[in-house]
Structure 1
Amino acid sequence: MMKKIILSITTLLTLCMASSCKKYIDINTNPNAPTIVDASSILPPMLAGMARGNWYDSRYVGQYAQIWASPTANNVWDQEGYVPASDSGGEMWRTVYFSLGQNINVMWQDAIPNKKYDYIAVGYALRAWGWQTGGDLYNNMIVKEAFDPTRLTFDYDTPDYVYAEAVKDCRLALQYFRQAIAADGLNVSTTLAKGDYMYAGDRSKWIKFIYSILAQNALHQSNKSTFNPDLVKTYVDSSFVSNADNASVQCTGSQSGDSNFWGTARNNLSSFRQSDYMVRLLDGRIFTGSSTPNNTIDPRLPLLLTASKDGVYRGVVAPLGDPNSADANTSIPYLWGTASVPIAGTLTKYIFNDNSRGVLMTYPELQFMAAEALYKKGDLQNAYNYYKKGILGSLDFVSNPPIASSLTGTQGYIPTAAINNYMASACVRQSAATLQLSDILQQKFISLFVWGAFEAWADERRYGYDPTIFQGFTIPSTLYPDNAGKQVYLLRPRYNSEYIWNIPALQAIGATAPDYHTKKPWFILP
Structure 2
Amino acid sequence: MRRRLYIISAALWLLLAPTACEEYLDVNKNVDAPAYVDGYLYLAGIQQAYQGLYYDVRATAPLAQMMGTSATYFNVYAQNFYPTGRDEGGELWRLTYFLQGMNLENLIKQSEAAGEWTLAGIGYAIKAFSWDQLTKMHGDLPMTDAYVPGLLSHDYDYQSEIYPQVRAWAYKAVEYLEKEDLTNYGTKISANDYIYGGDKAKWIKFAYGVIVRNLASLSNKTNFNTAYAQELIDAAAKSFATSADDATLRIAGGGTTAPYSEFNNFWGTFRPNLSYSYFQHEYAVQVFTGTVPKYDQATGNKTPVAGNTYYPYELAAKQIICDTAIITQAGHYDPRVAVKLATADDPTYSGIDNAFAVKKRKYLGGSFTGTSGPIGTAPSFYGRNASSSYAGTTHDGTGRWLYRDNAPYILMTCAELKFCLAEAYWKIGDKTAAFEAFKAGVKEDIAFTAKYITPGTKGSATGGDKITTALFTTLANQYAAGPFVDGLPTGDFSLSHIMMQKWVALYPWGAQEAWVDMRKYHYDISYSGEYPSQASGAWTINILNQKWDTDPTKVYKGLYLAPAQVQNRKSTYNLLNQGSPCFRIRPRYNSEYMWNKPSLEILTPISGLADNYQCSIPWFAYPGDLPTTN
TM-score (norm 2): 0.73
| Residue pair 1:43, 1:196 contacting (<8 A) in 2 also | yes
Is the 8 Å Cα contact of residues 189 and 203 (structure 1) preserved in structure 2? no
Q: Distance in 2 between matches of 1:458 and 1:351?
A: 22
Instruction: Please list, as runs of the form range in 1=range in 2, the aligned pairs for 1:347-386 lying within 5 A after superposition.
Output: 348-386=399-437
CA 1:46–1:14 in structure 2 vs 1: closer, same or farther (change >3 Å)?
closer
* Cα displacement string for residues 142-179 of structure 1 (whole angstroms, at most 9, x for unaligned residues): 11110012122322111111111101111211111111
Q: What percentage of residue pairs aligned between the two structures are identical?
A: 32
Report what 2:556 is aligned to: 470
Please point out which of 477, 480, 489 is paired with 1:420: 477
The yes-or-no answer on 1:485 pairing with 2:491 is: no
Moved more, 35-44 or 284-293: 284-293
Contact 2:108 2:124 in 1 (8 A): no
Q: Is the 8 A contact 1:13 1:149 kept in 2?
A: no
Q: Distance in 1 between matches of 2:453 and 2:104?
A: 27
Native 8 Å contact 1:337 1:349 kept in 2: no
Distance 1:435 1:442, change over 3 A: same
Deviates more, 1:303-312 or 1:144-153: 303-312
Offset at residue 298 of structure 1 (A): 1.1
1:69–1:318 Cα contact (<8 Å) kept: yes
Query: Which residue matches 2:551?
Result: none
Q: Which deviates the most, 29-38 or 18-27?
A: 18-27
Amino acid at match of 2:36: I
Determine if the alignment matches structure 1 residue 305 to structure 2 residue 341.
yes
Tell me the distance in 2 between the aligned counterparts of 1:490 and 1:259. Answer: 30
The 3-state SS of whatever aligns with 2:81 is coil
**Aligned partners of 2:339 and 2:453 also within 8 Å:** no
How far has the Cα of 1:95 moved from its partner? 1.2
Residue 407 of structure 1 corresponds to: none
Alignment partner, residue 500 of structure 1 = 594
Asked if structure 2 preserves the Cα contact closer than 8 Å seen for 1:72 and 1:322, the reply is no
- Over 3 Å counting, the alpha-carbon distance change for 1:384 and 1:112 in structure 2 is same
Indicate if the aligned counterparts of 1:9 and 1:147 stay in contact, CA closer than 8 A. Answer: no
| Gap runs ≥5 in structure 1 | 1-7, 339-344, 404-410
Task: Answer yes or no: is the 8 Å Cα contact 1:36–1:106 preserved in 2.
Answer: no
2:274 corresponds to 1:269: yes
2:305 maps to none
Per-residue deviation at 1:302? 1.5
CA contact (8 A) 1:132 1:166 kept: yes
| Correspondence for 1:56 | 55
Cα deviations by residue, 1:451-476 (Å, 9 ceiling, x for unpaired): 10111000000101115211122110
User: What is the rounded CA distance, in whole Å, between the counterparts of 2:609 and 2:449 in structure 1?
Assistant: 42
TM-aligned CA deviation for residue 107 of structure 1: 1.9
Report the aligned-residue RMSD: 3.1
Give the number of aligned pairs.
499
CA deviations on 1:476-517 (whole Å, 9 max, x unpaired) are: 032123211101100100100110111111112111111000
Q: Which aligned pairs between 1:61-460 and structure 2 lie closer than 5 A? A: 61-71=60-70, 75-108=75-108, 110-180=110-180, 183=182, 190-227=187-224, 228-254=228-254, 255=258, 256-270=261-275, 271-286=277-292, 289=318, 294=325, 296=327, 297-308=333-344, 312-319=362-369, 321-323=370-372, 331-337=377-383, 348-401=399-452, 412=469, 414-428=471-485, 430-460=488-518
Q: What's 1:520 paired with?
A: 617
| Structure 2 Cα separation of the partners of residues 101 and 17 of structure 1 | 14
Question: Cα deviations across residues 401-452 of structure 1 (Å, max 9, x unaligned)?
Answer: 289xxxxxxx835544312321244433623332111111111101111210
SS at match of 2:79: coil
SS in structure 2 opposite 1:360? strand
User: For residues 3-39 of structure 1, what are the alpha-carbon distances to aligned partners after superposition, in whole Å with 9 as ceiling and x for unaligned?
Assistant: xxxxx96246279989954456646853797422122
Where 1:318 maps in the other structure, the secondary structure is coil
Q: C-alpha offsets along residues 48-79 of structure 1, whole Å, 9 cap, x if unaligned?
A: 11x22311111111010000112479932122
2:542 paired residue number: none
Matching of residues 35-46 of structure 1 within 5 Å: 35-46=35-46
- What amino acid sits opposite 1:294 in the alignment? A
- The amino acid across from 1:446 in the alignment is V
Residue in 1 aligned with 2:354?
none
Q: Which runs of 5+ in 2 are unaligned?
A: 1-7, 293-315, 328-332, 347-360, 385-395, 455-467, 525-546, 548-553, 563-570, 624-630
* Change beyond 3 A, Cα 1:483–1:29: farther
Paired letter, 1:418? L
- Range 360-369 or range 242-251, more displaced: 242-251
**Structure 1 residue 94: deviation in Å?**
0.8
User: Aligned partner of 2:371: which letter?
Assistant: D
Cα deviation 1:116-140 (Å, max 9, x = unaligned): 2111111211211122111111110
When residues 225 and 31 of structure 1 are mapped into structure 2, their CA distance, relative to the original with a 3 A threshold, is same
